[in-house]
Structures are given as structure tokens and as C-alpha cells.
Amino acid sequence: MITLSGIIGSGKSSLTQILADELGTKPFYEPVTDNPVLPLFYKGNEIAAKKRAQGDTKATNPYAYLLQTFFLNRRFAMIKQAMQDDNNILDRSIYEDEIFMRMNTEMGNATEVEYDIYKSLLDNMMEELPYAAHKKSPDLMITIKVSYDTMIKRIEKRGREYELIETDPSLVDYYHRLLGQYDVWIKEYDASDLLVIDGDKFDFMESKEDRVKVLEMIEQRLLELGKITEEKFAELKAKHQEYLKEA
């Protein structure tokens, strides 16, 4: 099982589909379009930021805890399902979930009490995961690391209004903070082997050459971990050469 991680707009969903097509397996996607809380959360962030600017230092986002428990519940169910079979790929996982609740607490969008309750729930879930999913952890975690500028360009390209800094200027600070949180998370993550992909350097969505380079980086790591055979690795490499020859 492979899990993807990375900030908003880093290309997780795109790489998940590319890998699923490459390896002939099933992709699992983070719920966004059927998430009734996400637009409320972004609006709540904007309202809380305005209240704090007006002197209300205790103003919180009433939807921060609700959003994180929504995601936590979905991600727990998703990883349990994905871990039932071999060779599945998730475009985000429960392993990075705490980043968002911790950051929202530090920003004042959630209270310390809410964070403590959330953390206790997360810890309980992680203890149960090996029993519920019949697997202790992913075989490989892939993180797509991008700069602020790359992230903003990709957010603008997909055009979700509630993610745009033009719609909500307070997102500038939110996104910069989130980038910092991911830098810490990358250093601390130890649940499985971790591969970091430079999303600024490799445009695997638009460039065929970059896509092949990224796929071969991932497959080389899978080979080193004993998750694919030498024969499978050679077969995939040959397929890449044919792909690059196509018009």
C-alpha cells in the first residue's frame, strides 16, 4: 500500500491516479466534493480572522473541530478499506491528519480542549488500526514537497473559490503556516519508509519526461523495499521508454 501526502495543490490526487494506472491498482481519494463542512470551515476562518483583527483575541472558527473530525472519520474508514488488499494507493492518509488540527489550534481557530479531545480520538484510532486493517502501516509514504508559489498556481488552476487567496486574503498566512507544518512533519514521520518528491522540479502532470522520472524514483524505492520484483521493474521501465516515444 502506498500513501500520498503533501500540501493543498501539491498534486496528490493527480499522482495517485498516475500511480494507479501505472501499477494497475485501485486509487482512494480524499473526500472534497461531497464534504459539506469544508466551505463552512473556510468561511469560519475568514470570520475568526476579522474578529481577532477587531480585538476579540478568543475568537475561534466554530467549524475547525467539526471539519477535522469529519476528515478523521473518513480517513480512518478509507485506510481500513485500502489495507484489506495489496497494492492500493491513497491520495491522503490519517498519518498527516494531526497537522491541520494542531495548526488550527496554534492559530486560535480551535481551542486547546478541542485539540486534546481530537488528539485522544486520533490516538485511539491509531492503536486500533492494525487490528481493523490487518496491517500496521503503509509500505511507502510519498510526500510531494512544493513551494508557496507552485501551490498557489495549482490552486488557481483548479479554481475552487473557497481555496483562493483572492477570495480570502487570510489564506496567505494559513498556507504559509501549513507549509511550515509539513516541513516539521516530514522530519518527524516514522510510520513507514518515506520518499520526498520535489514538486517544483518535477511537473509530473504536464511533462512526460518528468512523469517518467518520478515514476522511476518511486518504483526504484519499491524495488529496494522488496515490494516489486526485478522483472516487474524492468517491465515498467520498458513501458516508460515506449511512452516517451509516443507523439
Strands 2-6 and 89-90: parallel
- Asked whether residue 8 is marked as a ligand-binding residue, the answer is yes
- Asked whether residue 136 is marked as a ligand-binding residue, the answer is no
- Asked whether residue 55 is marked as a ligand-binding residue, the answer is no
How many Å apart are CA 112 and CA 106, to the nearest integer?
Answer: 9
- Asked whether residue 137 is marked as a ligand-binding residue, the answer is no
How large is the greatest C-alpha to C-alpha distance in the chain, in angstroms? 64
How many Å apart are CA 224 and CA 76, to the nearest integer?
Answer: 28
- Answer yes or no: are the C-beta atoms of 90 and 16 closer than 8 Å: yes
How many Å apart are CA 64 and CA 106, to the nearest integer?
Answer: 12
- Asked whether residue 9 is marked as a ligand-binding residue, the answer is yes
* Dihedral (Cα; 79, 83, 89, 91), 10-degree rounding: 10
- Answer yes or no: are the C-beta atoms of 196 and 186 closer than 8 Å: yes
- Asked whether residue 157 is marked as a ligand-binding residue, the answer is yes
- Asked whether residue 7 is marked as a ligand-binding residue, the answer is yes
- Asked whether residue 14 is marked as a ligand-binding residue, the answer is yes
Give the active site residue among 34, 56, 85, 91.
91
Only one residue has cell 496554534, namely 106
Q: Is 91 in the active site?
A: yes
Residue 9, SS3 per DSSP: coil
- Asked whether residue 218 is marked as a ligand-binding residue, the answer is no
- Answer yes or no: are the C-beta atoms of 138 and 192 closer than 8 Å: yes
- Asked whether residue 211 is marked as a ligand-binding residue, the answer is no
Give 97's contacts (C-beta < 8 A, 6+ positions apart).
68, 71, 72, 75, 122
Give 167's contacts (C-beta < 8 A, 6+ positions apart).
161
- Asked whether residue 158 is marked as a ligand-binding residue, the answer is yes
- Asked whether residue 97 is marked as a ligand-binding residue, the answer is yes
- Asked whether residue 224 is marked as a ligand-binding residue, the answer is no
As annotated, the binding site includes: 6-14, 30, 42, 68, 92, 97, 154-158, 163
Positions at the binding site for substrate: 30, 42, 68, 92, 97, 163
Annotated binding site for ATP: 6-14, 154-158
- Positions annotated as catalytic residues are 91
